[in-house]
Chains A and B, each alone.
Chain A
Amino acid sequence: MANDVWVYIEHKDGEFSPMSFELLGIGKGLADGLGSNVCAFVIGENIENITKEAFAYGASKVYTVEGSVFKGFRADAYAKASSFLLDKHKPEIALFRATSQGTDVSAASAANLGFGLCTDCIGLNVDGGQIKMTRAAFGGNYTITVVNEKAKPQIVTVRPKAFAMPEKDASKQGEIVKEAFSISEDDLNTKVLEFIKSEVTVNLVEADIIVSGGRGVGSDEGFKVLKELADILGGAVGASRAAVDSEWIPYEHQVGQTGKTVKPKIYIACGISGAIQHLAGMRTSDCIVAINKDPDAPIFKNATFGIVGDYKQLVPKIIEKFKTKLNR
């Protein structure tokens, strides 16, 4: 249908996680508001399992482009296939996750179709038949709500974890629409030579729990105890810019305006004062715990739970309590 809501399903060479399907949840909400259907679109080489999973997470139709040229993600190949699908079917809106892959495909698709896109949305709702999109602006100190009256489809990237996961029902089925689209290898610009898995496997954006450290951590040694807490909780380690610039921890851990934007369920900030640049990257976290020696630190104004004290004494004690209570 012309006012359907489409969701791009990202995967890596056929590998996917439940998070690949998260936008089918908000997609269904928007489709209900528009009186239309939520559909998935998948580009890849072997995508049968992904298609099946998309139905389980609520897609009523799945559009696919398959071919060996789509083995492994490449921005130009995937964006060409994506633009082809979006141009041919012209859904009302196409949702992408605001990840590296989602951003690459959505931006290039929008450019191929000749219009702009709305990025990193944290709010989406239908109001009078129109989709209102809300994003954080200028360090999260403002939110901007926009409508798109020109582009069709409207192309949008959505902040990971901003919306609830859809329910999964493995018995659900739907219609598969296979589209033929191919590109010759010669027309593509890039070739992936290898993928080097990060030793620390930082995936801050996907983490439900983040233990983060700032200037107050004082040394690279200090991050060890934060890492220990993160490990016990099955979380990831984050850092403020001050800690990264002091070279206590690599940049890939940085949260904030010049780092990553995260939205975990629990964010534990140790020795982080809470400058607006840092808040920009984490203030939408569900529960924020702040541990800081300075009772006037701005982080406390944004914390769900605040503890005035030294992380060096508190964190080991917290680890000890978790070990006992969680039997770890």
Chain B
Amino acid sequence: MKIVACIKQVPDTEAEIKWDIPKGTLKRDGMDPITNPFDEFALEEALLTRENYDGDIIAISMGPEKANDVLRNALALTVNEVYRLTDDAFAGSDTYATAYVLAAAIKKIGDVDVVFCGKQSTDGNTGVVGAELAAILGYSQLTYVSKVRQFDAANKKVVVERAIEGGIEVVEAKLPAVISVIKGINEPRLPNLMGIRKASKIEIPAWNADDLGVDKSKLGYQSASTKVVEIAVPPPRGAGEILKGEIDDIANAITDKLIELKVIK
């Protein structure tokens, strides 16, 4: 099977945020990048799929030089090939442009059976790139996947479980498919020392807009459909009321206050 894993470098949530106003994009330079936590599950699922069904894994990431770190980590985890998608024209791309570039790379890779990605990134938080990617490619759109039951590469089929509101939906889909995975689908492994040493020596190839044959007018900050008009810090919720006293009094007070809200039916 030919397996693609889409991974993204995101700033560590603990890090200080620097905004590029008015573009409303994050200044990613100088931030400590980590692999998007959801993409670690995607990468692990790709590795498990290769172990169970054979094949090659190609990891791709769209981003500046820093994105090499997450691709190198993928190499240390023994993925077969990696490509970084990078071009000045990509900067400030919205979800559609991102999915469009990823789709172009997947087409260039060719004959792909399955694309794994994380449910969402922890920086953009949009959670729509996987679905957009599937729509652009015309692949099966399998989101919120909590378990891959079985691949049937010969008959080009896959059965997955989707964790949606109220339960688990079991879906059979045609391959190729884009599978976006949720936390808990597996337990991501860590690279071993040999893997890290090997990966450190590998040159990471880059594909730019021309390599991918993408239409630059659809990309980047200039073509994004939304324009940021304001970035604000939400007003603090305000110091709440601390309830003090004996446990019995506190319990009495808090239950009264909550009943007063008239929310409890």
Contact = CB atoms under 8 A, between A and B. Distances in A.
A198 B182 CA distance: 16
Nearest to B103: A111
Interface residues of B, number: 84
A313 interface: yes
Q: Is the interface of B mostly helix, strand, loop or mixed?
A: mixed
Given A108-B131, A257-B13, A321-B251, A283 B99 contact: no
A193 interface: yes
B231 A144 contact: yes
B242 A306 contact: yes
A141 B240 contact: no
A195 B140 CA distance: 19
B264 interface: yes
B136 A144 contact: no
A327 B194 CA distance: 65
Classify chain A's interface size.
35 or more
Nearest to B11: A138
Contacts of B30: none
A258 B131 contact: no
A119 to B, nearest CB: 5
B115 to A, nearest CB: 13
B250 A307 contact: yes
Contacts of B127: 103, 119-120
B205 interface: no
Interface in A234-268: 234, 244, 250-252, 254, 257-259, 265-266
A317 B251 contact: yes
A31 to B, nearest CB: 21
B143 A116 contact: no
A194 interface: yes
A193 B132 contact: no
B230 A144 contact: yes
Contact of A114 (B26, B96, B172): B96
Contacts of B24: 144, 146
Interface of A: 75-76, 79, 99-101, 103-104, 106-112, 114-120, 132-133, 136-151, 154, 189-198, 201, 203, 205-206, 208-209, 233-234, 244, 250-252, 254, 257-259, 265-266, 276-277, 283, 286-290, 300-309, 313-314, 317-318, 320-322, 325-326
Interface of B: 13, 17, 19, 24, 26, 37-38, 94-97, 99, 122-123, 125-128, 131-136, 139-144, 159, 162-174, 177, 182-184, 218, 223-234, 236-237, 239-244, 247-248, 250-252, 254-259, 261, 263-265
9 contacts: A79-B141, A108-B141, A138-B125, A145-B231, A203-B166, A251-B183, A305-B257, A321-B252, A326-B264
